[in-house]
A = this chain, B = another copy of it.
Amino acid sequence: MIDIQNQPDYRNIPIDKVGIKGLKYPVKVLDKTTGLQSTVAQISMYVDLPHQCKGTHMSRFVEILHLFRTKVSLESITNILEDMKKILGAKSSHIEITFPYFIEKKSPETGSKGLMDYTCSIIGSSNGKTDTDIVLTVAVPVTSVCPCSKEISEYGAHNQRGEVLVSTRFKRLIWIEHIVELVETCASCDIFSVLKREDEKFVTEKAYDNPKFVEDIARDVAKALMEDNNITWFSVSAENFESIHNHSAYAYIEKGIVS
């Protein structure tokens, strides 16, 4: 049977990335507390294609993923990237894995247990020359109270759910839990899935005591990331789903750290 993909191409144009996009697959990801956590990921996998080749072999990407699905971690990503290059005969490989990650959290006063979801993604690239490049992104939902509203009003202060998105490059492997904790400390208050009345009083007062603009949250998270000498690069965005508007307030800081 003829292999059309393997035929020569004469346009003289190499392709940066070619592969599969948007595949939904069940995976197990490394969990600090329980070892492995079952979740469902959205996955894209690409390799480069040299100018003289007509096409890549799409089915091999899924076959590689099928083998690796039982242990996805910042470490195993490197192996997947190597396998992709070897099996597809490519010089560079790229993978993007996005999944909800769940952490058990106790409410602050009554200690009621519930699971909080944090959308995470691991983006890995390998070009065969330098080290593999890996970026971990964690989305952390938070509460923010507006300092301006609190200051100028006789009483009350508008507040809302926000989302802080942190992307990092790092020397040694880091835990999702570490980023979550770092961000939650920088918000007006963190968020829970279960809150009894005593807890609700606690988070209301804590948030009101701790008003923060999106600018403040972005800066406080940036400051904490700059003080972590394991982090070599980061970007942080803070987005508030404003309770007084139908659009968001947004702040973004990016920084490469010279060691």
A116 to B, closest residue via Cβ: B246
Q: How far is the CA of A143 from the CA of B157 in the complex (A)?
A: 12
Which of A156, A201, A243 has the largest number of chain B CB atoms within 10 A? A243
Q: Is the CB of A201 within 8 A of B2?
A: no
Contacting residues, chain B, for A55 (C-beta < 8 A): 148, 213, 215-216
Q: Are B102 and A243 in contact (CB under 8 A)?
A: no
Q: Mark A222-259, 1 if CB is under 8 A from B, else 0.
A: 11000000000000000101111111111111100000
A188 to B, closest residue via Cβ: B243
Residues of chain B within 8 A of A1, CB atoms compared: 152, 197-198, 201
B-side contacts of A252, CB under 8 Å: 15-18, 46
Chain B residues whose C-beta falls within 8 Å of the C-beta of A201 in the assembled complex: 1, 149, 152-154
Question: Which residue of the partner chain B has the closest CB to A251?
Answer: B18
Number of copies: 4
A91 contacts B by Cβ under 8 Å: no
Known contacts: A207-B156, A243-B161. The answer to whether A49 contacts B17 by CB under 8 A is no
List residues of chain B with CB within 8 A of the CB of A174: none
The yes or no answer to A182 lying at the interface (CB within 8 A) is no
CA gap between A168 and B62 in the complex, in Å: 32
- Give the secondary structure class of A's interface: mixed
Q: Which of A61-86 contact B (CB under 8 A)?
A: 62-63, 66
A223 to B23, CA, bound (A): 29
**Given A13-B222, A20-B248, A195-B59, do A159 and B160 touch, yes or no (CB 8 Å)?**
yes
**A24 touching B248 by the CB < 8 A rule?**
no
24 contacts between A and B (CB under 8 A): A1-B198, A2-B151, A4-B147, A5-B148, A15-B253, A16-B253, A17-B251, A19-B250, A21-B250, A25-B115, A40-B40, A54-B216, A58-B249, A59-B194, A143-B158, A146-B200, A148-B197, A152-B204, A153-B200, A153-B204, A153-B208, A154-B201, A160-B160, A161-B245
